[in-house]
Amino acid sequence: MNKINKNITAKTHPTHYMMHKYWGRKPHNVVSDYILNFSKPGETILDPFMGSGVVIIESIKNNRKAIGIDLNPMACFITENTINDVNLEEFEKVFDYIYEKNHKKFIELYNTKCPKCGGITAFENSIWDHEEFSKIRALCHSCGKFIKNVDLYDQKVFKKATEVFHKLDKENKIFYPKDEILKFVKRNGKSRLNEFFTDRALVVLGSIIKDIDEINDQKVKNLILLCFTSMLPNVSKMIPGNLESVNGKSGWVISKLWAPKIHTEKNIFNSFKHRFHKIKKGKQEVAGIFNSKDAQIFNIDATNLKNVKSESVSYIFTDPPYGDSIAYFGLSMFWNGWLRNKVNYESEIIYDPYRNKKYEDYSSRMKKVYAELYRVLKDEKYLSFTFHNRNLNIWKAVMDAVTSAGFHLVNVVYQEQAVASGTQGLNRNNTLRGDFVYNFIKNTKVKAKEKKLNNEGGEKYIARKVQSWIEKNNGYLTSDSLYEKLIPFIVENNLYSNKEGEVTNIENLLKNNFNYKKNKSQEYGWQEK
């Protein structure tokens, strides 16, 4: 096997990866190259933190067998819907029936009047300013597009929607999730999931999901549910609104559940149909490519791979949870709540002090995971995992887990992403735009040596090294360039702690010794003080 030791240019995701939102989706071509490099056709690939299934999907594409593990039911749901062979004609037929049935019943709840001719039409988008129904954008079949302030007619239509909602709710004829939002993902005053939707939205969503529940063909039912869950963020109060254009400013870009003060309310029927076409296109793109028999998907805890035999796996590629970076379970409750999924929050691997899930719990669970990975991996085979976190407490927990399991470090490679993540979208100046891929080997013939912490003057040692890198680069280094050098240096030299044995705070170390500012090209980077 050749060692991968350089960045692979990331390609944008094809449509079948864009059917449903999920966080941390790795570039498919990068994952594919690692699979091709570290395994052979017919061998079994494992991803114990499967997410939206990139490793599983690329393994099947490359004629490998795949085992996907994820404790989050939503991750399993997205992956299974991507690889399952579904009758697309039946999918379209059933979707059209549900769409038309609900459109006929409830489209009038989106009615507005054209300010020129007074004609009635359904609005496309609207803006709420705090709790006030403020502006509407619509298309009049006679006069064309228009934007207007909400008037008395619009207020009466919304009042009617509210009355319909309360009637259905009182008679117990509508389902909607009332799950309490986890504190770790709570951004503002909303406490329960239903508070992220207007009464009008709850009426329509509740009716649609009731009809979906009655579908007999399970694969068709699940794919239409995927259309449903994929539109939920866009038809919620989470999309920031533009009062002038009466459009959404962006999608769900931050890793929290929040409702901005100025937000959109979209016409659900437009969003539902848009998601249908997107998902249909994605399924057409991979028609005939997948054999779902080559994949096993398990909604279980990665600390106990009871469904995987010892030494049965030829390669592992995974993207483990980054401590507190992304609260996958907390964010996924936005979908899991609507699907009535039971979620094992207690076993989630995360740093979340609100649930008393601290570093000790994170470290303990990660050690169990890597012990299991060592057990199921064949001898002299490889483990690759990506990691992106500057907190050395988290780093140390992961590296301790993998080395104590018996793995040997081969190399660390900086890998760019195809697109910026939600966090990077908010803070691009001082956020890494890529991940590090750590490559390890299981070799039972060589005993793993436990590295002693190199804390004798560790912080000064790191600072001197950073100083030399900056000097060699004309007195300036971007965060990406710096961390591309710094992370392998810390890992390979075990430089996690200072003289007192406390885990080093890299951000503070850099801020105390260097300046972070713009250079002559107006690009942010680290410079000498």
Q: What is the DSSP string of 19-42?
A: SS--SSPPPHHHHHHHHHHH--TT
Q: Could you give the maximum distance between any two Cα atoms of the chain, in Å?
A: 83
Question: What is the helix (H) or strand (E) element at residue 310, kind and residue range?
Answer: none
| 336 Cβ contact partners less than 8 Å away, ≥ 6 residues apart | 72, 73, 74, 343
| 425 Cβ contact partners less than 8 Å away, ≥ 6 residues apart | 250, 253, 254
The tens place of each residue's pLDDT in the chain, 529 residues long, gives 677 878 888 899 999 999 999 998 999 999 999 999 999 999 999 999 999 999 999 999 999 999 999 999 999 999 999 999 999 999 999 999 999 999 999 999 999 999 999 999 999 999 999 899 999 999 999 999 999 999 999 999 999 999 999 999 999 999 999 999 999 999 878 999 999 999 999 999 999 999 999 999 999 999 999 999 999 999 999 999 999 999 998 888 888 999 999 999 999 999 999 999 999 999 999 988 887 789 999 999 999 999 999 999 999 999 999 877 789 999 999 999 999 999 999 999 998 988 999 999 999 999 999 999 999 999 999 999 998 777 788 888 999 999 999 999 999 888 877 655 444 433 344 446 678 899 999 999 887 665 555 555 678 889 999 999 999 998 989 888 888 888 888 888 888 887 777 888 888 899 999 999 887 777 888 998 8
Structure confidence at residue 474 (pLDDT): 87
Q: Is 377 exposed, middle or buried (0-12, 13-18, 19+ CB in 10 A)?
A: buried
Where in the chain do CATH 3.40.50.150 domains reside?
15-84+288-447
Structure confidence at residue 452 (pLDDT): 58
Q: Hey, is 475 helix, strand or coil?
A: coil
Q: What superfamily would CATH give domain 15-84+288-447?
A: Vaccinia Virus protein VP39 (3.40.50.150)
Question: What is the helix (H) or strand (E) element at residue 512, kind and residue range?
Answer: helix 506-513
Other CB atoms within a 10 A radius of the CB of residue 461 amount to: 16
Alpha-carbon span 521 to 208, nearest angstrom = 53
Enumerate long-range contacts of 159-164, CB under 8 Å, 24 or more apart. 160/109, 161/109, 161/198, 161/199, 161/200, 161/203, 162/199, 162/200, 164/109, 164/199, 164/203
Alpha-carbon span 488 to 482, nearest angstrom = 11
pTM above 0.75, yes or no: yes
Structure confidence at residue 419 (pLDDT): 57
Structure confidence at residue 454 (pLDDT): 56
Alpha-carbon span 451 to 472, nearest angstrom = 30
Q: Hey, is 367 helix, strand or coil?
A: helix
